[in-house]
Structure formats: C-alpha cells, structure tokens
Structure 1
C-alpha cells in the first residue's frame, strides 16, 4: 500500500496522542512544556519517517519522546549545583536583572543545593565527581573503588532523587532505603532489581 506520509502519520502516530500526553505528564514535571514536548516529538517522528518509515511506529513514537526528554535534561544540567557566593560580584550580565528574577534564581540555587545535600553520601560523591568535576565514569569508578556500572546507577539514582526533591516540593520520591540495602545492590549481592 503506497500511502502518503501525512496519511501514515495520522493513522500510525496521531492515534496515540492520548497515550503520548499521559506519558509526557508522568515523565516531565513542568506542565507548561507538555504541549511543546508533544509537538517536538511529532516533528522528530515526522521528519524521520520522511526518510524511512519505522516498522514499529508506536514504539518509535515513545522512544522519540524519551530521547527528547533526555536531551532536555542534559541541556538543563549545565547549571552548576554548587552554591555560589554572591552572584552580584560576578557582574556577568549586561542587562539589568530585576530583583524578582534575582530572588527566584537564588531560591532555585538554594533548592538545588538542598536537593544535592539530601543525597546519600556515596551517591552524592559520585554525582559530584561525574557531574560537577566532569570526571570520566572510568576514573570515578577507579577513584572510589567501585564498578563503572555502580557509578552509572548512582548517577541515575542521584538525578532521580534530586529531581524528586526539587520538583516534588521538598519530598524525596519513594520510601527511603537502608544504607545496607544500597551497598548490597551496588556490589551485586542483594536484590537483582535495578536501582
């Protein structure tokens, strides 16, 4: 069947709009951006399908949405999580910043710093070395005497916990785990469930 790209898109992609929007609401905390995320996902799928139609359109749609969210999170992490002394002393901005915007920025930095401080000690150290000092995963693993897989898990856990605290009005997501249970998971002894 030789149908147009528009027909294919309507039949194979747009029919999943409700599920896509539900997924975006679960995966992205800023509700004001859901519409833009949905549209950008559609654009990426449409452009890719113009070159080569995916064999599993629904799976491709959701994979595209996940990649888009990952891209946005990566772009967002360039903000340092280390509290700065006095931002006024930097004099980097040419335009005058309103007192309200300055206060908002300070509050965001304080919340982000508080979220970082709430991480378990090992997780906090791994996140610091990987994301702030920007050390390679292999070097972090060697320095801390842990596996690269554990570094990867601890970074993912740290980002998840910080996002839960930051966007969840100060509440860490899920029940707290004991240090022993975390250590068992990291060394591969305890649960086989991924952290």
Structure 2
C-alpha cells in the first residue's frame, strides 16, 4: 500500500532515475559501486523527505548525490592509526623543535596576523568569534545581528582570503578595492 510519501517519491524523484544514473556514471570513478551509490542517494532523499518535503525535488536529489560522493571520498582518504603501525621506527620526536622550524612557525604566525588584520571588518569579527572565542554560529549571528547563513559566508570568505594571503597568492581585486574604500571612508561594515 502506497503512502503519500511513496507517491511523492515516485512522482518527483524516481522520474529522474536515468539522469541520476548518468550523473553518477560521469562523476563516480568506481563503476562497481554505482548501483549501491544510487540506492543510498534514494534512501537519504526518502528519509529526508519523511521529515520535510524539499521545495525543489530534482535539485535536492542531485545535491544529495554530490554530498554522498563527497562523504565517500572523504572517508576513503582517512587512514587508520592501526594502518600506520608502530611509529617508533620512524624516529619521530614530537617534542624536539629545530631552530629552523621554530623560526618558520613564528614567520607563519606573523603572516597570519598580518592577513587577519587586513580582513574586512565583518569577516574579521566573525573569524574572531568563531575560531578564537569558539562561539556557536548561532551566537555569532545573534551578537552581530546577521543571519547564520551570512556568518557562514563571512567565515568562508575570510578563510579563503587568509589562505591566499598566507600562501603568497594575489588577493582578489574586489577585496582590495573594498579594503581601499574602507580605509578612505572609515566604514565599519562589510
């Protein structure tokens, strides 16, 4: 006996089976896992729809497939400690820090501090609250009077900009223009 959820699933999700199969074939390198992968996508979509029906079922289906593939790739890269075996033969001395390493660490920290100081004001506030004060995303959003999604965007942007600065890449032009404008006008927000 079909439930309303079953009918929705057949009508809104299973009609995209051929497109999903093609997408998985193009994106997933392990052909022997395609059937299981597709079934797991269906299970995730069905279970999620049981809690709340997605507004855009097709987009939700493909987003779920992308997330599942990402999860599987991430899990496949994890190396177990047992697989590493005994570390003693490697002669790894964790407590010993060479002068070169100590200076390199100090230099890296200096670069990070300079890059942090150059972040747009709002990005800097978000990074400080999330990473230094270790506040929850919801708490940061409340304190700054912005949405949680905006907190995520500021944090992602800040991390990208910090990485670019610390690794010697050229910062993006929009950020440079905004920094110059903030300096000229003394603006606070981003």
Smaller-chain TM-score bracket: 0.3 to 0.5
TM-score, with structure 1 as normaliser: 0.44
The structure with more radius of gyration: 2
TM-score by length of 2: 0.45
User: 1 or 2, which has the higher helix percentage?
Assistant: 2
